[in-house]
Amino acid sequence: MAARKGRPVPGSALLLCLCAALALLAPPAAEAWTAHTWMRWHGARGADGVVNLEAARRVGRDAARCVALTAPLPWAGQAAAAALDVAGPLVDGRPELAAALLAELRRELDPAAASSWRGFGLAAYAARAAVLAGDAARAGAGGGA
C-alpha cells in the first residue's frame, strides 16, 4: 500500500524525534559516565593515591564534576561518598590535602544539596563534607599530625 502524497508517514516523524533526542542526550550522558568512572577509579585508589596538592584537587574536581552532571541521580551520591572516603584519612595525616579536595568537592556539592530538586539524597554528604572540612582546617591550623 503506497502512502498518499502530502501526508508524512507517522513512523518517520517518530524516528526523527528519537534521533534528535539521542543526539541531544548522548554527549551529556557520556560525560556523566566518564566523570562517574573517574570517581570509581579514585575511590579504588583511596587516600594512598593522593600524594600531592594537585592530586587532591583532581579528586575533588572529578567528584564535583560528577555531582554537577548527575545530580539527582545516584551517581552524584556515589561520587560524593567516594571523595569523602578519600578525604577522611587525609584529615589526620595530611590536612592540607583534605582541605583542597573538600574545597573542590563542596563547590558543586553544597549548591546541589541545597536544591530541592537536585539535592535528593545529597544533604548527608554535604554535612559530612562540612564536618571534614572543619576538621581539616583545625588540624591544619594546629600544625597537622
pLDDT of 48 higher than 50: yes
Q: Give me the pLDDT at residue 145, please.
A: 46
The mean pLDDT value for 125-140 works out to: 95
pLDDT digits (tens, 9 = 90+) for 66-123: 999 999 999 999 999 999 999 999 999 999 999 999 999 999 999 999 999 999 999 9
pTM above 0.85, yes or no: no
Work out the mean pLDDT of the chain and round it to a whole number: 88
User: pLDDT class for 54, splitting at 50, 70, 90?
Assistant: very high
> In the 8-state DSSP scheme, what is residue 9?
-
Between the alpha carbon of residue 73 and those of residues 50, 127, 128, the distances in Å are 27, 19, 19
Q: Which residue has the cell 574536581?
A: 61
d(C-alpha 7, C-alpha 88), whole Å? 64
Question: Contact 54/45 with Cβ under 8 angstroms?
Answer: no
Q: Give me the pLDDT at residue 136, please.
A: 95
| Residue 98 grid coordinates | 583534605
Residue 143: phi, psi to the nearest 5? 100, 0
Helices (H) and strands (E) in the chain, counts: 5, 0
pLDDT digits (tens, 9 = 90+) for 7-19: 666 778 888 888 8
